Structure 1
Amino acid sequence: MRVCAVRAITDQQGSIYIETDNCIGCGCCKTACVTFGYQALEDKTEAWLKGAA
């Protein structure tokens, strides 16, 4: 959550939530995430990160 420049990531009752309206698709969260990291999100596009796909 701290790596998000636009603060689009929040913790909601123990689950991570991405506010797709605020997400700019930079991928910093993908790079910083230990649990899901690059392998889990490698096929996701900027449109997916923003909730368009």
Structure 2
Amino acid sequence: MYFTDRGIEELVQRRGEEEVGMLWLAERLREFVDLNPEFETPVERLATWLARLDDDED
């Protein structure tokens, strides 16, 4: 188990029944980076990965 799994499990436990939109998620990610600029690169990588998730790997 990775350390981040605990945070993911808490997220699912607290908000697992909610539906959120991409706009809401993007705003939360921006807020997080504003408060924690040292995480800019990992957040950017996550956002890019999510954006390209359905792209063909050809």
TM-score scaled by length of structure 1: 0.31
Higher helix residue share: 2
Greater RCO structure (CA 8 Å; 6+ sep): 1
Larger-gyration structure (1/2): 2
